[in-house]
Amino acid sequence: MTLANGTNCRRLNLRNGITMKTNAVIMTGPKKLSVESLVVNEPQVGEVVVEISYSGISTGTEKLFWTGKMPHFPGMGYPLVPGYESVGEVVAASPDTGFKVGDYVFVPGANCFGDIKGLFGGAAKTVVTSAGRIIKIDRQMGSDGALFALAATARHAIVGFGNELPDLIVGHGVLGRLLARLTLIAGGNAPTVWETNNERLIGAQGYEVIHPKFDKRTDYRSVYDVSGDPKIVNELVGRICKGGEIVLAGFYPGNINFAFPAAFMKEARLRVSAEFNAEDVNVTRSLIEAGDLSLNGLVTNIEPAKNVANAYENAFNDPKCLKMVLDWRKAA
C-alpha cells in the first residue's frame, strides 16, 4: 500500500490491495478489554504512520470507561481503542508532513480503526494520524515520553490571563506532581499538596504533602483539584480565602455540587481546565529539553501490551502505581 501521493509505506511490507492491520487494545465494555487485530485506515496525504513503542494508561478518562462510569460525551462509547499518551517511530510519511521515517514522536491518540471508536485510539502497535497532531521528541525519553499529555495538561491549567499559581493542590498522583513541579519552575511559592493515600505521601520535590485532616488553613488563594472526586468541591469552598479560586483540573464521573451560601460568602471563583493545546505541548517539550521540568519517577510500571488486562487492573487499583505504560515493542 502507498500513501495517496505515492510515498511507500516501507517497513510495513504493504502493497496496494493488501489491507493494513495492527494489534490494538479494544474495550468492548466495562472491564472487558483485550488485544485484538484490527483493520487500520489507509493513510492519506498529510498523514503519517507511527509504530508505537509505549502507550500510557490514563487514570482519569480511561478509568471511567473501564469502570463504566464515563459520562456521555459525543463520539465516546464502546467498542473503542483507548489511549492518548503514546510515543513511537514514524515508519511512513508523505513529504508534505515535515516528518521523515525514523523520527521519534509523541502521539496524542488516533482515529484510524474504521467503525471502532477511536476518540483516543493510541493503544495500538501501529496508528495512522494527521501529522498536525504529533510532535517530534527526543528518543532518549523512552517511556517517559508517554507523560507528555499529562505534563501539557498541567501546563495548560496554570497558564493564561489572570491565572494564579496554586498554593494548594489536591491529589499527589502524576498530574498533581507535575502541577507542583511546574509551579516551582514558574517561580511560585512551594504549594501544599493534599493526599489521603499513605502510599502517595512520599515523592515530593521541594514542596510538602500532607493528609487534609492535618491542614487547618482556610485562606488558600488558588486551589487546584486533580483528585477527580466530585464531592470534594464543597470542602474546598471552605478552604479558600474571600475571592479565592477553585480550579477543576481533573475529570469527574458525575455532577459537582456545593452549598451555595458558603460559596456566596466567600465570593468563590470556579474554573474548569480542559485539554492541552499545541502551544502547551511545544512549551512543555522546551521545558523538558532544557532540563527545567523533570519527568523522573513518574512512570512506575511497564507491562508488555499482551498483559493488558493485568496492566489496567494494577493501573487503577494499586496505589503504588503512579503511571502504567504498555510496551508495544515486542508486540506482533
User: For the segment 239-252, what is each residue's pLDDT rounded down to a tens digit?
Assistant: 999 999 999 998 88
Q: Which of 11-15, 84-88, 224-228 has the lowest mean pLDDT?
A: 11-15
The number of beta carbons lying within 10 Å of the beta carbon of residue 192 is: 20
pLDDT tier at 76 (50, 70, 90 boundaries)? confident
Domains of the chain: 21-136+300-327 (3.90.180.10), 154-272 (3.40.50.720)
Q: Do the Cβ atoms of 239 and 220 come closer than 8 Å?
A: yes
What mean pLDDT is reported for the chain? 91
What's the pTM?
0.90
The pLDDT of residue 161 is 58
| Predicted confidence (pLDDT) per residue in 51-60, tens digit | 999 999 999 8
Rounded distance, CA 88 to CA 139, Å?
Answer: 9
Residues in the chain: 332
Q: How confident is the model at residue 50 (pLDDT cuts 50, 70, 90)?
A: very high
pLDDT-derived band at 14, boundaries 50, 70, 90? very low
Select the more confidently predicted residue: 262 or 12. 262
What number is the average pLDDT over the span 247-263? 91
Instruction: State the pLDDT confidence band at 331, using cuts at 50, 70 and 90.
Output: confident
Lowest-confidence segment of 15-19, 236-240, 250-254, 313-317 by average pLDDT: 15-19
DSSP per residue, 16-62: TTPPPEEEEEEEEETTEEEEEEEE-PPP-TTEEEEEEEEEE--TTHH
Q: Which amino acid is at 61?
A: T
Q: Determine the pLDDT at residue 132.
A: 93
Q: How confident is the model at residue 330 (pLDDT cuts 50, 70, 90)?
A: confident
Q: What tens digit of pLDDT does each residue of 114-168 get?
A: 888 766 899 999 999 999 999 999 999 999 999 999 999 999 999 865 689 999 9
What would the mean pLDDT of 207-227 be, rounded to a whole number? 97
152 burial type by CB count under 10 A (0-12 exposed, 13-18 middle, 19+ buried): buried
109 near 122, Cβ under 8 Å?
A: yes
What pLDDT sits at residue 16?
53
Peptide bond connecting 79 to the previous residue in cis, omega within 30 degrees of 0? yes
| pLDDT, position 277 | 87
Tell me the C-alpha distance between 215 and 248, whole Å: 20
Q: How far is 172 from 179, CA to CA, in rounded Å?
A: 9
Determine the pLDDT at residue 274: 85
| pLDDT at residue 71 greater than cutoff 90 | no
